[in-house]
Amino acid sequence: MAEGPKRSLAALGWNQPFEQALAALGSPGLVPARVAAQYTHLYRVWTEDADLLGSMVGRFRVEAESPADYPVVGDWVAVAARPAEGSATIEAVLPRRSRFVRKVAGDHLQEQVVAANVDTVFLVCGLDGDFNPRRIERALVLAQESGAQPVVILSKADLCQEVPARLAEVERLAPGVPVHAVSCRSGAGLADFEHHMGPGSTVALLGSSGVGKSTLINTLLGEDRLKTQAVRRQDSRGRHTTSHRELFLLPSGALMIDTPGIRELQLWSEGSAVRDTFDEVAELAESCAFRDCRHQTEPECAVVAAVGAGRLAEERLLSYRKLQGESEALARRRDVFARQAEKRRWRSIHKSLRHLKPRG
C-alpha cells in the first residue's frame, strides 16, 4: 500500500491556501495528504507519492469540539508519514474551503460532515419510479450552504418516457442550477456535464440508494470498479452498494467522491439557505402586508395569492413551509443546547473554584 502513483499535489486539488495553512502549523516534519477513503477507525490518505493507511493522533478526540472536526473524505490533512510501513499518523485537519453537512439521523442534535473541499456537488436523482422533486429541493438547501456549486443529475433517462417534462420540472424548482439528464446505459447526456469535472477539481456524488451513483462512477472511470445492484422492481428503491465514502481520480483528471446512499437527509442549516433555494418565494414575500408573514393564513399574503393565481405551484409553497419549519425548529434546539452547555460550563467552573483553598 505504501507505494503509489507519482502525482503532483495540484492534481489532487492542492492550492496556495492549503500550503499556507500547513506552514502555519510550524511542524516541518509533516507532509500534506488528502483523505481518499474513510473507514470505521482508519483512513486511506494520498500523499504526493504514496497511498497510506492513516489513523488520528490521540489528542484529536480530546481537542476536537465535535466529531464534525474529525477527518472526512476530501479533507487535506497534515500527516507524519511512514511510507516503508504503509502508514501515517494524522496530526491536523487543514481548514476546509467547503463542506457538505447534514444533521445526523435520528433525534440526536449533531452535525455530520459528508464531504469536504468539494467544488461541485452532483445531486443525483433517478428518472425511474423513485423520482422525487421534494428530495431534490431538500438536497439543494444543504448544497446551498456547503460552499460548493450544485448540479442536478437526472440518471436513468433511458427508463423515462417524459425526459423533457422532468427536466423542465427540475429547472423550475432549481433556477440557475445546471440540470442534466443522462443514461449510463446508452451514454446519452454524459458529454453535457464534462465541463463540471476539470483537472484537479473535486466533485461529490449525493443521492439515495439505487439512483445510479456507482454506475455513473464506473462509466466515468471506464471500468466496473464499483459493485452495483438492481433496484427493487416495485418501487425502484435500491440497497446500499457503497459502504463507505471514497475518493476516485478520474481519467479526466477530476476527483470524484462517492458516498453511501442517504436515506434521511436532515437539514443542518440556517433559514437563509432555505430562502436562497426558494428565491421565487422570497421575492414574492417582499409584497406581503406583514414583514413576518409565514405565508399561511395571514391577510394580504402575496405568496398565497400567487398560488391562487397559478403563478406559484402549491407543492412548491408546501415544500418551502416544511423546510423552513424544520430549519427554524433546528435553530431553536441548537439555541437551547448552547444555553445548556454554557450553564454546564459555568457549573463546572464554580465547582472547581469551591475546591480551591484560600492563600494566607
Tell me the pLDDT band of 230, cut-offs 50, 70 and 90: very low
**pLDDT for the residue 43:** 95
Based on the domain organization, do 219 and 128 belong to the same domain?
yes
Report residue 116 as a C-alpha cell. 469536504
**205, part of any domain:** yes
**pLDDT for the residue 151:** 94
In the predicted structure, residue 83 carries a pLDDT above the cut 80 = yes
**pLDDT for the residue 231:** 44
Q: Which of 40, 63, 93 is the last residue of a domain?
A: 93
Total structural domains within the chain: 3
Q: How buried is residue 234: exposed, middle or buried, by Cβ count under 10 Å (0-12/13-18/19+)? A: exposed
**% the chain with pLDDT above 70:** 79
Based on the domain organization, do 167 and 249 belong to the same domain?
yes
Based on the domain organization, do 65 and 137 belong to the same domain?
no
Span 287-298, pLDDT tens digits: 999 888 889 888
Q: Angle at CA 219, nearest 5°, toward 213 and 222?
A: 140
Based on the domain organization, do 148 and 202 belong to the same domain?
yes
Report residue 122 as a C-alpha cell. 452532483
Based on the domain organization, do 337 and 242 belong to the same domain?
no
Residue with C-alpha cell 437527509? Answer: 265
**276-289: buried (b, 16+ CB within 10 Å) or exposed (e) per residue?**
ebbebbeebbeebe
Higher pLDDT, 5 or 121: 121
Based on the domain organization, do 49 and 84 belong to the same domain?
yes
**pLDDT for the residue 267:** 55
Report the distance separating Cα 180 and Cα 170, nearest Å: 10
In the predicted structure, residue 136 carries a pLDDT above the cut 80 = yes
Sign of CA dihedral 144, 149, 155, 72: negative
**pLDDT for the residue 305:** 92
Q: Which of 75, 93, 111 is the last residue of a domain?
A: 93
Residue with C-alpha cell 464554580? Answer: 350
Based on the domain organization, do 241 and 117 belong to the same domain?
yes
Based on the domain organization, do 156 and 282 belong to the same domain?
no
Based on the domain organization, do 236 and 277 belong to the same domain?
no
Report the distance separating Cα 214 and Cα 209, nearest Å: 10
With 0.95 as the threshold, say if the pTM is over it: no
Based on the domain organization, do 288 and 330 belong to the same domain?
yes
Report the distance separating Cα 304 and Cα 184, nearest Å: 41
- What integer is the mean pLDDT of 198-223? 86
**pLDDT for the residue 233:** 45
**359, part of any domain:** no
In the predicted structure, residue 237 carries a pLDDT above the cut 50 = no
**pLDDT for the residue 229:** 47
**59, part of any domain:** yes
**3, part of any domain:** no
Residue 77, domain CATH: 2.40.50.140
- What integer is the mean pLDDT of 257-279? 68
Based on the domain organization, do 192 and 242 belong to the same domain?
yes
**pLDDT for the residue 143:** 83
In the predicted structure, residue 225 carries a pLDDT above the cut 80 = no
CA distances from 227 to 22, 128, 275 (A): 36, 20, 38
Is there a contact between 34 and 115 (Cβ–Cβ < 8 Å)?
no
Give the residue numbers spanning the domain of 127: 99-258
Phi, psi values for residue 344, rounded to 5°: -65, -35
Q: What is the residue-averaged pLDDT of the chain?
A: 82
Residue 150, domain CATH: 3.40.50.300
- What integer is the mean pLDDT of 172-196? 89
For residue 247, the Cα-to-chain-centroid distance in whole angstroms is 14
Q: Which of 93, 127, 162 is the last residue of a domain?
A: 93
**% the chain with pLDDT above 90:** 35
Q: Where are the alpha helices (DSSP H) in the chain?
A: 16-24, 60-63, 133-146, 163-173, 213-221, 271-277, 279-285, 302-308, 314-354
Span 271-326, pLDDT tens digits: 577 877 888 888 898 999 988 888 988 888 999 999 899 999 888 888 888 888 87
